Structure 1
Amino acid sequence: MLYWERPYHTIVVLTMTILIIYKEWVGKAMSASLIWLVAKMVQERGNRMREKYDEVITVSTASDQSMTESIVSAQYGLISLHQIMQQTNVAIMKMRSIYTAKAYKHASLVMAAIVGLAIFLAVLPLKYVIMSGILYCFVMTSAVGKYMSNYHSNRRMKEWWDSIPIVPVRVVDGRVG
């Protein structure tokens, strides 16, 4: 869109964006996007996509390097980056599990939360949401916010996240010979 590869689409998106901001429909546009996301999730659930995608992701282990070169490369690699990538992959697989309703209860809870957020954004003017967000950030980083933070709710949220099953992964060895 930004590079004007398809000028008609770029003009339409630009016009709609300016109109939404000018008319102060940002909250309603975000709300409509969230409702669209829930509709797509319900459609996926209706199509039984979770049964179709028992093996969603294929990983190839083919490599042009020898075993020694691979070990040397791994030694000099950034271990922390590797861990971040693993966590990101797991998070993506968990989100995919929620989206395709593989984790049915989690998907229902997320859809209800998205609908609630969509209604909240449709009813409340965006400027109040932004002001509340800024106030929340300032309060939670202060001493009062640190005192108010609840360890139990954070632990429950982590337990909920950890209970989401990831989509199955099939590893394919792409080596020839």
Structure 2
Amino acid sequence: MKKIITAVLVSILVLAVPLATQAQAAQKEINADTKSIPIRNKSGTKTLAWLPKNAIFTYHGSGKLTWKGVTGYSSLTSYFAPTSSNGWYAAVSKYSFKAPESINGKGVISVAQNEVVRVCPSSEKSGWIKMAVLNDGWEWTFWVKKANVIRVDGFAVNSQAWFTNL
């Protein structure tokens, strides 16, 4: 009887392992930094390649990424943005502008041409959509005219999102 109870308890423990401990699926992300980021070996002693600004790459989690066949690591993951996550999508600005904190408001933060931003299309009001800008962390309080940005979630991995190339 003790062996049966032990077997049942062990099987319950095996089934109760949280899903978070399993390997994370790779996802498509974009480099939102204003410059290239080094891709290094696991120990960080050798630079394997450079991840260009606006590069769309595969992110495996824990700093591991793949860009154009080179798999390596980066400690600068705060500059990575998923191309699609929880209704927010990465986008590239078509030109430089000042983004307001309210619809038709006065612009309070500068957005450069080809800067990576995050947009929420489901928030559309009168042609405006909510926008997040990377400025020492993502700031989620801005608005942009829908026609002023291009979503990049449909772009291929190993490409770069530039308005001049679209």
The alignment's TM-score, normalised by the length of structure 2, stands at 0.22
Flag the structure with higher helix content: 1
User: Would you tell me which structure has more strand in proportion to its own residues?
Assistant: 2
Question: Larger relative contact order (C-alpha < 8 A, sep ≥ 6)?
Answer: 1
